[in-house]
A and B are shown apart, each in its own frame.
With several copies, the nearest count.
Chain A
Amino acid sequence: MSRWQVVVAIRLKAEILDPAGQAVGHVLQQMGFDTIAQVRLGRLVDLEVEAEDREQAVAVAAEAARRLLANPVLEVFAVTEAREVGGHR
């Protein structure tokens, strides 16, 4: 077993409206960021997982995302990173 740092990225489905992102985009426009055309907000979950290997670490994170971290009605998720951080035990 070793320790893995796994990152889950959760985003709104493309067809779901993101008023909070729009509001941020609006403020950015007002602040003069006129090259920023669109803003969408998502969530990032950093997990520390004990696993045999990368594959297992990713699988556990994906399972956690499927069952709790992401809401399937609105969101999609992806495991974007898995780094070994702790030695074998």
Chain B
Amino acid sequence: MKAAVVTFPGSNCDEDTVIALERLGVEPVRRWYKDTDLGGAEWVILPGGFSYGDYLRSGALAARAPIMDAVEQLVARDQLHVLGICNGFQILCERGLLPGALRANRDGKFRCTWEGVRVASAPSAWPGFQVGQSFRLPIAHREGAFTVSEQELDRLFQEGTVFLQYCDREGRVVDEAANPNGSMGAVAGLARGRVMGLMPHPERAVSQFLGSEDGLEFLRLWLQGR
């Protein structure tokens, strides 16, 4: 299998993502944001970071980078599994590959904490994820509050696009208490077709001494997409 990791000029989780994939036995292809193809990869991760300084809106500038044209084309042809992590998720939304937008956290402040997330609906392209399954993963962002209109949110839940929600230690979704950033519907991640995006960082939770191995398991399940 050929998996690519894209580096934008301000990406800063690309290295951690490459290392996590290597730990799972995948030798990733590195792609630069100016590249116009994915080097034959059928899997791609858009890693976290501040892709383009994130000055206008997070991910807005990176979403217009040449590599994203290639991503969009392959997605349209159903030839690519995509994972956007944190800034990568923001880029996917800005590009219109996932619905909604990620706005400033409820308190307007950056937040770096360990959080629980729970699978809200099983994504059709990834049979490994089970509804109710939960992971402990770090978040680290200032713009992570998932935002859409109310009707759109209902629709996303009905369609099964809402893939992950923030949850408490017991795996319960309790909107205010266990919602670290004020996301509507406590949404932590979306999946539509073969495009998945989430705010938490699975690539950081790759060993017990770093806090958890849940991220490794998460990435393993992602790599089992069909």
Contact = CB atoms under 8 A, between A and B. Distances in A.
Is chain B a partner of chain A in the same complex?
A: yes
Interface of A: 13, 15-17, 19-21, 23-24, 27, 30-31, 41, 67-69, 71, 73-74
Among A15, A23, A31, A41, the most chain B Cβ lie within 10 Å of the Cβ of A23
B64 interface: yes
A14 B93 CA distance: 20
Contact of B101 (A15, A19, A71): A71
Contacts of A19: 53, 55, 103-104, 106, 108, 145, 182
A68 B145 contact: no
A60 B64 CA distance: 17
A27 B64 contact: yes
Given A19-B182, A68-B64, A41 B100 contact: no
Contacts of B182: 19
In the A-B complex, the 5 residue pairs with the smallest Cβ-Cβ separation, listed nearest first, are A20-B55, A27-B61, A23-B53, A23-B55, A73-B101
B57 A73 contact: no
Contacts, number: 57
Contact of B57 (A15, A16, A31, A71): A71
Interface in B102-156: 103-104, 106-108, 145, 147-150
Contacts of A69: 56
Contacts of A71: 57, 60, 94, 101
